[in-house]
Amino acid sequence: MNLYTYLLEFKNGTYITQVSANTVQQSMLEWINLLKAEIDAIEYLNNQSISAIEQELAEEQPILLKGKQSVWCFSFAIKQGHGLVNIVETVHSKRKYFKKEWLIELLKEQKPKREDLILQLEEMTVSEWIKKPYIRFVNGENANQKGAEWQFDENIVLEHKTEGTIVLDILKDGRIGGIELLNELDYL
């Protein structure tokens, strides 16, 4: 997902909001929903005026500013007045997901004898995960305690040319308990 910042100039006031969406078109729907949810935050706007803005957006899309990247503009005229909205794609995430195919390829290259892990990954129904420092597959509550599902056995360290160091936690029963993406950790 990408982060879009909306700067609304309306009735001598400036109102700044941010929404997350995959595209600028989707962000407009999120922005309208945010306006509806925070109706009291913008003076002179009510449900009827937000519906009018929504109708104008359905008829006319924001324009990408000439010579700029990821900056759009649109205006509207409603009963309560004129408004100008600038949209700036503040954060663009080109690769927000981590794919299981990358792990399968790495295991085949770096740990080819671990066919058991390759088979586990191939049989998983999930094919990608949102990138975060740790992706857990098995409940880690009371880890390594008697009766706990999580019984750690070993780590397998893999190196990916763009994703960096990846650590697989392997449990005593041979399952992959989780994946640690070291590049996603915030080091202070």
CB distance 61 to 25 below 8 Å: yes
Number of domains in the chain: 2
Interior angle at CA 136, CA 130 and CA 140, nearest 5: 155
Per-residue pLDDT at 163: 85
Q: For position 93, what pLDDT does the model report?
A: 56
Q: Are residues 76 and 101 in the same domain?
A: no
Contact indicator for 178, 124 with CB cutoff of 8 Å: no
Enter the pTM of the model: 0.51
Examine the fold and report which residue of 61, 91, 121 is the final residue of a domain before the chain moves on.
91
**CA pair distance 151, 131, nearest whole angstrom:** 24
91, 125, 148 - which closes a domain: 91
Q: What is the pLDDT of residue 180?
A: 93
Q: What is the pLDDT of residue 94?
A: 55
What is the identity of the amino acid at 74? F
3-state secondary structure of 124: coil
Last residue of a domain, one of 91, 124, 159: 91
Q: How far is CA 70 from CA 3, 14, 87, in A?
A: 11, 20, 8
**Residue 109 and residue 87 share a domain:** no
Per-residue pLDDT of the chain (188 residues; tens, 9 = 90+): 788 999 999 988 899 999 988 788 889 999 999 988 888 888 888 889 999 999 988 888 889 998 888 899 999 999 989 999 999 998 665 557 788 999 999 999 999 999 999 999 999 888 888 788 888 989 888 999 999 999 999 999 999 988 889 999 999 999 999 999 988 875 43
Closest to 131 measured CA to CA, from 82, 180, 173, 90 = 180
Domain encompassing residue 117: 97-184
**Same-domain check for residues 68 and 112:** no
- Count CB atoms within 10 A of the CB of residue 111: 15
List beta partners, residue 180.
Answer: 134, 167
**One domain for residues 41 and 74:** yes
